Amino acid sequence: MKNQGVLGQQLQIYEFSAEDALAIAVLRPITKSIGLSLGDRACLALAQRLGLPAMTADRIWQQVQIGVVVQLIR
C-alpha cells in the first residue's frame, strides 16, 4: 500500500508487508549463489509486485530470472 510521496510525488514509499517478506524469502534460494543481499531481494520483490523494472548498478541482478526487468543505471 502506498503511504506517501516524496520529492513532489516523484518518489513513492511503500509499506513492507508479510507478502513482501514471503516473496523475499522465496528469492533467497534463487539468488544465494550470486550473493544478492536482503536489500537486493527486497528491491526485486517490490519490482515484481508492482510490475515495474528494478533499477540497479549491479550487473549480477540480470542473472535472476523471475520475470522482472532489470534496468542498469550505468
Q: Say which residue the cell 514509499 belongs to.
A: 13
For residues 60 and 7, what is the distance between their CA atoms, to the nearest angstrom?
29
Are 38 and 24 contacting, i.e. CB atoms less than 8 angstroms apart? yes
pLDDT of 9: 73
What are the boundaries of each domain within the chain? 18-72
DSSP string covering 10-69, please? TEEEE---HHHHHHHHHHHHHHGGGT--HHHHHHHHHHHHHT-PEEES-GGGGG--SS--
| Mean pLDDT rounded to a whole number for the chain | 90
Each residue's pLDDT tens digit, 18-45: 999 999 999 999 999 999 999 999 999 9
Q: What is the pTM of this model?
A: 0.84
